[in-house]
Structure 1
């Protein structure tokens, strides 16, 4: 139970306050006036007994959530005396008014529980219940005179409110998208809501074969009449299905016939509900003959299996091709070096030795990058805890010569620990920090931060499940129109003679991030630097 308010029951003023609080909670839960009065009066009767004959009495008012579709207002009166023994008349009267009262006396403490079901549980959200608590916390105190005066006004207007409530329920019955009618024992229709009236487009006066022929499918009439006669004979509910005609089409409906009881328990009428279930019926029928869809699903599963096998083959091919190409290329570069030892500078220029050597070097770098890309695979590896502080420290040590040469300033904040593959994460940060140093026309300033989240980044919906790391630089930047290209293989945004590289580094970064079930994004402007945002799942978050 979610507690709303507590009231100590010491004197008559507390009794007035208890009555007021009960009425207010019932009102805020959408209770009709008659239910408000019944609940509040039942609570007041027991509270009056506690004030007169009890000891250390306490009233707790709250909301009990039995389940999503069932919620109730609850009043619990705790006392050190056996209240029911002290005043059985008060409890009998409270039971008569409420009908939902429970009492127990155990270990010198009595507990009286009075409840009232909420008529519209779906409207009573967690936020609304919290609003109740805030309301009573800040509500100003009321004088006894004002309280009594308000109660007198409510009692005088009770009959008017009951009439108004009846009109509201009638209006509700007319507006809900459920077809409703009321009939008596002789099958005479007493009342039809507007939804049914508009649906049939003709009056429904009697629930018999002749009338049903006008709007019920011929194959469903016998079953519907048999169910009605059986329900009428045995005083039980009937639930069945029938196709109801709407203009020229028959629509499946769930038909419920329920006895309507009076206060003394006798039957005076029957409620008939028609609920549209056509969509559900179509789904059921579709699933019954869904062999073609199942065949397509099996075909897709087979195709996916073949695709995974082909991807594995391609990865193996890329690895073997890159590895086998390195050896002859290494021999070519050695031969070029030895041949060049016996040539003059003019002869080297004549035979394009410098260009051949540079081209061979670029080819070697390209093969190395492709080889690294093909190795980024984590299916047969196990994630372990990786301290990113150690990873970045090692990366900066590897790049120390470049940092010293460019007089770069590197600022790194305290990094988190994540689950991942140490080697791949080192490769990730090496490529991104190296790019920040490379693509810079002046003195590089690189900032590696943890915890900052871009305000306009819609890449991640639940950012609280990720460790967010940014790498910002003051380099040459790039246009955001290239955002769809920079993570692709062999994509270069600058001429080779301006900045080196083969256009594989960022593709490698994206693949590493995907292997770690994370995401990567960037923001940049030409001449204003670039910020890369890395999202790695937290250790306690399973994707």
Structure 2
């Protein structure tokens, strides 16, 4: 059933709204006057019973398309009370005047369905049905009560969006493996994430000497307090290596204190986060006096550099959690408060509510992208054979609307079957093809092919790697961005030019690293881009490298 309008049945005014909207829908569907009256009266009888004796009653009016030559208007009234046993006379009367009447009561929910066939179903096209939805969506209020009711529904919907955004933000902050808290200039702890709460034996109530001494090594407390006071005075960052107590041991962490700006540009709080670097410290201490480990020092340094890179990624997560995700949240909260002030209805509808929706959507997309990036993990996943021809065919199906809209030309030459994780490889090629379509100002042309000849004089051996290229005729990019383009949250264009959050190519690189491969590109502004993907032909272990 195609839903047209909903009405909460709470009082007599809602009964009037229900009757008028039933009559209007029946009229717009070309129903004769006698049938309009019979249908609307039957619905009104049950609605009156719901208002008088029901609870949490809801009326839904819609169009049921049985087939192209058979369509009907449908009214569904739901309640948590057995309405028929409460008002048998009303139900008997409604069933007599309506030829299509059904009632059921199951699992503490009553459902009354009243339908009326449409005399000329062929005239009621899909466009006509959509126009009915738009009519009631933008219909002028029938009364001051109806106007207030509509605004209340809009505010409830906005409130639900805000709650959903807040829950996603909390989920992100609590799943990051970093100890995080927010403090004000009076040293009061305003907020902690679950990681910090579970790590500490005592609650952290204030960022002062007394509370820090409960878990920070005595030799580090003075340095933290000096750095904290200096950061407050200069409105600057503070970074140091400290030891935090866990059980009976002290674990090395990096502490970072970052000022947090409010919407008006003022500093109203500070973000404090602790990143575990104990493994790196142990490596350094071990190598100091142990000459027997010199032979493997280079391998340990390589592992250490990877840990540093991972810590950098975690810092980027913390920054997003404290700033980019809070910015649209603050905008939503400010807009909601302003929406209740003495403004005209035109201003509320045309200005503030639209901006709230955009801010909430931006936050939702950003949180989703960040969570997708953080969840690209090979733990306990098994490599299998993946036919890239089938993968690309499914991807083109997913992008069919964009391809059709832009009249894009897609050419896929025969591709190999590789060893890998099907879901991650699908995400890799989806992001690259989608970018080729998106970053293009003319008719997109994309060619995907496999070759045995490397594009440069690199050390990549075609005997050991599948070499796949994705070439487009898009806007291209300057070679100066070759080191930045695969970093998290890096954008080469303004948000209003091209959408996205700067995570797609970072995700591609991470997927390639999971498969022990490589990715690079060749590009010039205005001349398109060619991405080169190198995937090993064999795998050392059956399980993916973690």
State whether TM-score is above 0.5: no
Report the TM-score when normalising by structure 1: 0.39
Q: Which one has the largest radius of gyration?
A: 1
Structure with greater contact order relative to length (CA < 8 Å, sep ≥ 6): 2
